[in-house]
Amino acid sequence: MAKRKSSGNRSISYAKWGYIFIIPFFVVYAIFTLYPQILTIYNSFFEYYRDGLTIVGPRFVGLDNYKTLFATNHAGYVPIFKFLGNTIWLWVLGALPQFVVAMMLALFFTSTRLNIKGQQFFKTVIYMPNLIMASAFAMLFFSLFSQVGPINQFLISSGIASKPINFLGMQVSVQTLIALMNFLMWFGNTTILLMAGIQGIDEALFESARLDGSTSTQVFFNITMPLLMPIFIYVFITSMIGGIQMFDVPQVLTNGYGIPDNTSTTLIMYLNNFLGISKNYGMAGAVSVLLFIITALLSSIVFKSINPNRK
């Protein structure tokens, strides 16, 4: 400001540089995000797919794709609702233990009283599963838990089971495995984010609380948690968006069929089925639009309910 005044009427406006510097982001955003988004919404009003090598459409059909999407299927339910339920359930199953374990680990690692040695080592180890590709991870579990895989061999040779257990054919085990894989892959990431959040809290607050004789529980609920809230909301919402977009693990583990009885079919797997051999852009567009609305709604609900003071 002082500089500006002194330079008088020969002032140089630096404001334009601000705009110039943010141009690349907006260009990239417009080309790679905004345009496809608009195109997806546009396509959802058209009949547009391939029959063999023949392209059918695009033909404007109004809301027909949405009507089809909400129609009851042959098994007597609206598929999109069932798959939305699956997706949320699978996410909760993996995310709940993930938050609990990650929070505990983050507290242990940041606690000045525990002062754990070899932190770097543990941090690397718990982050490691995230570096493995989800699909490779799922392939690994697929082989481990197959009826002739090592897990079954162990169970039989140790006498726990008398015949191979079809882990990949039962709802409980398939859903548990998916949740377990998502948990293993993401708890390290969450731990590190939460640790960063806790480390950002002024140490003096913890010290004074301790001097006042508060218990660890009191410290956690009255100091750590409220001050960690912004980071926690971030972790929660990103995890939720990731959960809604869950695809690779169940896709590879169930070979794309969401076995058994479509109980592990997620929304994106459903979307992927439309985009398979027939490249049904119309229906896939409708699913995407719905997905967009659901994600936006859930995020804002979570945001509002966890932190009502924020605007």
Partner 1 sequence: MKKLLSILLAMLMVFSLVGCSNSSEPAPAPADETPAETEEGKVLNIWTWNVEFWDFLGKYYADEIVDEYTYKKGDVTIKRTTYPSDGGAYQDALDAALLNQANAPADEKVDLFLAEADYILKYTNSDATMDVKSIGVTDFSNTYKYTVEAASDANGVVKGVSFQCCPAAVIYRRSIAKDVLGTDDPAEVQAALDSWDKFNDVAAQAKAKGYYMIPTTNATYRVFSNNTTSPWVVDGKLNIDAAIEGWMDQSADYVANGYTAYTSNIWGEEATSEMFATGKSMCFFGPAWYFNFSMGNAQDPDKGCFGDWAICQGPQAWFWGGTWILAATGTDNPTMVADIMNTFINNEEVCSKLVSEDAQFSNNQAVNAKFAADESYGNAFLGGQNDTAVFVELAKNIKFQNITSYDQLCNEGLQTYFQEFLDGNVDKETAIANFKDYIRTTYPSVTVE
Report the interface residues with partner 1, using CB under 8 A. Answer: 47, 49-56, 73-76, 79, 133-136, 138-139, 143, 146-149, 166, 169-171, 247-248, 252, 255-257, 259-262, 270, 273-274, 276-278, 280, 283
Nearest to 287 by CA among 268, 264, 300: 268
Question: Closest approach of Cβ 170 to partner 1, in Å?
Answer: 7
The 3-state DSSP composition of the chain as helix, strand, coil percent (nearest 5) reads 70, 5, 25
Hey, which bits of 15-108 come out as E strands?
46-51, 54-60
Q: Which is nearer to partner 1, 32 or 292 (CB)?
A: 32
3-state secondary structure of 55: strand
The smaller minimum CB distance to partner 1, of residues 110 and 266, is found at 266
Judged by beta carbon, residue 109 or residue 281, the one nearer partner 1 is 281
The least CB distance from residue 181 to partner 1, in Å, is: 13
Q: Which is nearer to partner 1, 224 or 280 (CB)?
A: 280
> Nearest distance from residue 91's CB to partner 1, in Å?
16
- C-beta closer to partner 1: residue 107 or 283: 283
Tell me if 65 sits within 8 A of 271, measured CB to CB: no
What's the closest the beta carbon of residue 256 comes to partner 1, in angstroms? 5
CB 90 within 8 A of CB 266: yes
- Torsions phi, psi of 261, nearest 5? 50, 40
User: Are 181 and 137 in contact, with CB atoms under 8 Å apart?
Assistant: yes
* DSSP designation for 213: T
Q: At its nearest, how many Å lie between partner 1 and the CB of residue 125? A: 22
What is the smallest separation between the CB atom of 73 and partner 1, expressed in angstroms? 5
Cα–Cα distance list, 148 to 152, 158, 172, 176 (Å): 6, 15, 19, 19
Q: Residue 103 or residue 287: which is nearer to partner 1 going by CB?
A: 287
